[in-house]
Amino acid sequence: MVKLTTLHAAAALALAGSAVARHSSPRLHNRQSSGSIMESDYSNGATPPGARPGDAAGQTVVIDNDGGHDDNSQRNGCPTIFIGSAAVGGSFSTGWTDMPQVLGFDTMRDLTVGNNVVQPYIIETGKDASKIKRVVITQPGLPRDYWKYANLVRNSLLCASVNSTMGVNTDEILIAAPTWFSTNDASAGSAQSNDLVFNGGNWATGVNSAGPNGEAISSFEALDDLVNKFFDKSTYPNVQQVVIAGHSLGGSFTQHYAMLRKANSAQDGMMSYFIGNPGAYVWPTSDRPIPNPGGNCASTADEWGYGLQDLPPYGNGQGSASSIASRYYGRNIMYALGLSDNEAGDSHCEAQYQGTSHLTRGQNFQKELQSANNGNVPSSQQFNYVPNVAHEDYLIFSDPNSQHFLFAQGSSSGSSSSSSSAAPSSTGRGRTSTSSSGAQQTGSTSQSGSSSSPSSGSSSGALSLISPTSAVSAVLASSAALLALVL
């Protein structure tokens, strides 16, 4: 059973209050005690609402002038706080030594994915399961830093929740994140003896686990089980959407899962996939934009990981490559790509057939989708080219088009309605048609990029929620919060 506890709230707010009272006015103290999420009510380094004893270090309010470029501060235009990422012991290469207590999240060990095998995950605490309509399941990046991505998406949700045109109600949205441990995490201490563990980065492509207890289980199978939990009406009677979301290797994970996830007619119409700046793609056809990039891997360039040959065991019985590809074309997907993301990405020989950078691989992937679908990106898919953003995870997750896809799109379709859900439904329809027409612009990819505007902050003036007070910050500068940076 999923436990959604609320009991800590009073203690948490008391803690938040006392931590800040030392150096702030009574008025500030009162506003924080009311659970404000507005940056103007905080100073840099303050304790955020929802803090509990035992929270990992680093998770304080960050106020600086980086506008999200440091992946540890709020983007320009969002008047809400940014909560810093948890500090964690150990390292990506030697293994993490502990699972940090993420502020506002509980660690869950109730997902059994095999014989005496557990897939841990974290989930936002204090939310009423019966109100949840949408679950956003975040994926970690290469460093298996699940705590960071759950937090980034939570910070983006805080931002979206005060944007009245977005129509987002945080009570109806739940963020969750599987841990995806490696065998190094088991040696270092963060993974317990019955936790699912993978060799190296095998979690990211759905290849079977390295145990424990002699079990070989795909991360995709474990994610299916997690998704099933949220579609279980006895716990979550109102869930209408489950969104899988990742950036970089997490984006690549999400694209691979979207390609290979088994058909599930009860769920597929309620699933969506957010793919941010992946290092490489699994290509749906054997065509490649760069036929002869050099290297020595022509015979493996279309194998799983990069293509639909030689699938991992999770793909058994799923039919031909072309039927898997057609199923993929029907899935609800946003590709969110930084127009300045010129990093090389996945350096393997097989990836060089797809393009020379994150951005060009994405643009080539769009062309491939178009040529495989009569000139158009499939109508359930869209490319969100985000201007002035490089390989910057937070700026991808907090772009308004991304926020709409993550937190609002599709949350409509009617009936289960409170008055707050009626609002997202109407905005939802309008925006959906806008963005799908954006995706269908066939011409040059950079033009379709300019159609997916916002994020430059100043340009969308009329709708801007920026208050003059959001400039308030800078003053107290400094560093304590920056200790939170982990990779």
Q: Which is nearer to ligand NAG, 17 or 449 (CB)?
A: 449
Sole window of 121-129, 131-139, 163-171, 356-364 interacting with ligand NAG (rule: CB under 6 A): 163-171
Task: Calculate the alpha carbon distances from 298 to 301, 312, 449 in Å.
Answer: 5, 19, 32
455 conformational bin, left if phi > 0, alpha if psi -120 to 50, beta if neither? left
Q: How far is the CB of 417 from ligand NAG (least distance, A)?
A: 21
Q: How far is the CB of 453 from ligand NAG (least distance, A)?
A: 8
454 binds ligand NAG (CB under 6 A): yes
Sole window of 4-12, 169-177, 412-420, 462-470 interacting with ligand NAG (rule: CB under 6 A): 462-470
Q: How far is the CB of 171 from ligand NAG (least distance, A)?
A: 19
Closest CA to 57 of 481, 347, 451: 481
Count, residues near ligand NAG per rule CB under 6 A: 11
Answer for which of 115, 116, 193, 464 binds ligand NAG (CB under 6 A) is 464
Q: What is the C-alpha separation between 219 and 111, in angstroms, rounded?
A: 13
Q: What is the C-alpha separation between 162 and 269, in angstroms, rounded?
A: 28
DSSP helix/strand/coil, 463: helix
Q: Which is nearer to ligand NAG, 307 or 400 (CB)?
A: 400
| 268 CB-contact burial (10 Å; exposed 0-12 / middle 13-18 / buried 19+) | middle
Per-residue contact string for residues 431-450; x = within reach of ligand NAG by CB under 6 A: --------------------
Structure letter (DSSP) for residue 476: G
87 binds ligand NAG (CB under 6 A): no
Answer for which of 43, 107, 165, 434 binds ligand NAG (CB under 6 A) is 165
460 binds ligand NAG (CB under 6 A): yes
Answer for which of 80, 119, 139, 163 binds ligand NAG (CB under 6 A) is 163
Q: How far is the CB of 464 from ligand NAG (least distance, A)?
A: 5
Structure letter (DSSP) for residue 447: H
Please name the residue that has the structure tokens 């009626």.
422
Q: How far is the CB of 358 from ligand NAG (least distance, A)?
A: 24
∠ CA 366-336-60 to the nearest 5 degrees? 165
Provide CB contacts within 8 A for 460, sequence distance 6+.
77, 400, 453, 454
Q: Which is nearer to ligand NAG, 295 or 430 (CB)?
A: 430
Closest CA to 191 of 90, 284, 304: 90
Site for ligand NAG in 43-82 (CB under 6 A): 77
400 binds ligand NAG (CB under 6 A): yes
DSSP β-ladder status, 332-338 and 381-386: parallel
Answer for which of 9, 87, 349, 465 binds ligand NAG (CB under 6 A) is 465
Q: Which residues bind ligand NAG (CB under 6 A)?
A: 77, 163, 165-166, 400, 404, 454, 460, 463-465
